[in-house]
Amino acid sequence: MPEESKGAPAARDKFHRELGDLKARLLELAQAAERAIERSITALLHRDPDLARQVITGDKAVNELEEAIDSECVRLIALFQPVAIDLRVLMAVDHISAELERIGDSATNIAEEVLNLRQLPAKPVHFDLPRMAEDVRQMVRRSLQAFLAQDTRLAREICQEDDEVDALDRAIIENLLVEMTGDPTAIPAGLSQINIVRNLERVGDHATNIAEQVVFMVEGESIRHRCQG
């Protein structure tokens, strides 16, 4: 193989340079996904259809970057055949990029609901929805910090934070259902807000999945379904 003719140290150096480039692309994807969530919520709170359309249009670039990262992970595994921590890092990058792409999808779903709400009479969003949005945005940001710092303590904290997001999800939806039951005219806007809340809850799940990948990458232990442990 071409890399073998250069000697193991040279191959390892080349692998780590290319891995560094791949991590930079992952960070670019993370920033795009976080920006999409932030803009979709801003569009909701300000009833801004133009910003919502920007989120929807920008999802294509997020998808393309995720596909490029996935292809590069496959190429590096095939070319360098990494083992141990190097292999786990590549696997984590691949999984994390997929989670970030799904976060972009959730942002797009929220933006589409913003456009739907624009067709309805103006109505304030549930008072806890901005808090939930900020919580999940911080979870995404901190999960990437945990990845970059290989910080398993922070990763486990993020897993625990998902419990609070889940509780907000249940409380907000329950409140909206009660409101819709008492006022049928509130049903269209209520359903849109429920869809938004469900997408925010999924963003929290994706951030938790990223945190789980950090623990696997660093410790070689899968903590799926028991991340709080």
- Which pLDDT score, from 0 to 100, does residue 225 have? 61
pLDDT tens string 3-57: 343 447 888 899 999 999 999 999 999 999 999 999 999 999 999 999 999 999 9
Is 227 within a domain? no
- Which pLDDT score, from 0 to 100, does residue 5 have? 38
Element (H, E) at 54: helix 49-80
- Which pLDDT score, from 0 to 100, does residue 227 have? 60
Q: Across the chain, how many H-helices and E-strands are there?
A: 7, 0
Is 69 within a domain? yes
How many domains is the chain partitioned into structurally? 1
Cα angle, residue 7 at apex, residues 6 and 9 outer, rounded to 5°: 115
Nearest partner of 22 among 65, 84, 79, judged by Cα: 65
Whether 103 contacts 33, CB under 8 Å = yes
Task: Output the DSSP codes for 120-179.
Answer: S---PPPTTHHHHHHHHHHHHHHHHHHHHHT-HHHHHHHHHHHHHHHHHHHHHHHHHHHH
- The three-class DSSP label of residue 48 is coil
Kindly give the confidence (pLDDT) of every residue in the chain, 229 residues in length, as a single tens digit, with 9 standing for 90 and above: 343 434 478 888 999 999 999 999 999 999 999 999 999 999 999 999 999 999 999 999 999 999 999 999 999 999 999 999 999 999 999 999 999 999 999 999 999 999 999 999 988 999 999 999 999 999 999 999 999 999 999 999 999 999 999 999 999 999 999 999 999 999 999 999 999 999 999 999 999 999 999 999 999 888 876 664 4
Query: Can you tell me the distance from the alpha carbon of 136 to that of 128, in angstroms, rounded to the nearest whole number?
Result: 13
Q: What is the pTM of this model?
A: 0.92
Find the CATH number of the domain harbouring 184. Answer: 1.20.58.220
Is 226 within a domain? no
Q: What is the CB neighbour count within 10 angstroms for residue 167?
A: 11
Is 229 within a domain? no
183: which residues sit within 8 A by CB, 6+ positions away?
none
Is 211 within a domain? yes
Is 110 within a domain? yes
Is 209 within a domain? yes
Residue 211 is part of which domain span?
2-219
- Which pLDDT score, from 0 to 100, does residue 226 have? 62
- The three-class DSSP label of residue 215 is helix
